[in-house]
Homo-oligomer: A and B are copies of this chain.
C-alpha cells in the first residue's frame, strides 16, 4: 500500500491511496451533522466507505430483518444496530410515523451512540422523516426542514411525510429530555428518576 495520510476531516483520516482504492458511499448518502449520517440501504460494496466513518451505531428504519452480510459487518466493527421498523410497502399514517420516529429520535439525539448512520431503503422517506424531526429539535424553521426533506426525496416527495413533519410536536421529546436531565442532575433538592416508558417519576432516596 502506497497510501499516505495527508489530513484529517473531522474524526476521519483522509487517506491518499494513489488511486488504489475508490470509495463508494451508499446511495443518497449525506452528512446530517458532525458524526450523524444518512443514506439508502448500504450494500457490501459500500462497507469500505462506511469504515471511514468509524461508526458506533446504525439506526435502521425498515421492518425487514437486517441482511446477514450487513449484520456481520456491524459485528466485526463493533457497531450497534437500533431497528425501528416502519413499513415501506405503503405510505405509513402520521400516527405510526409519530410514535416510531419519536422512539428513533430519542436514540438519535444521544451523542454517546455517535457516529451514527441513519438509513432505510432509499434514504428518502423514513430517513427524511427522522432527520426532519431532528431539525425541529434543533429549532430549524419549518420551511428549511421541508426543503431538506425534498432535496433527498426528489420527485418522490410524499405529502404524508410533509404533513407529519409540519405537525410533529417536539415538546413531548423535550419533556423526555428534561426528565433525563433531572435523572442525572437532580431537580432542586430532590433527586428524581425517570421510569422509562411510564412517564412517572419516583423520588430517588439517594
Q: Residues of A at under 8 Å CB distance from B?
A: 6-12, 14-17, 19, 21-25, 27-36, 49, 109, 111, 137-141, 143-144, 147-148, 151-152, 154, 174, 177, 181
A7-B111, A30-B151 known; A140 vs B25 contact (CB < 8 Å): yes
Residues of B contacting A12 with CB < 8 Å? 33-34
Q: Which residue of B lies closest to A16 (CB)?
A: B174
Residues of B contacting A137 with CB < 8 Å? 14, 16
Residues of B contacting A31 with CB < 8 Å? 30-34
Complex contact B7–A109 (CB within 8 A): yes
> How many angstroms from the CA of A147 to the CA of B27 in the assembled complex?
8
Give which listed residue, B9, B32, B143, B154, contacts A111 with CB less than 8 A: B9
A185: min CB distance to chain B, Å: 11
Q: Which residue of B lies closest to A46 (CB)?
A: B144
Complex contact A14–B144 (CB within 8 A): no
A17-B139, A29-B144 known; A10 vs B35 contact (CB < 8 Å): yes
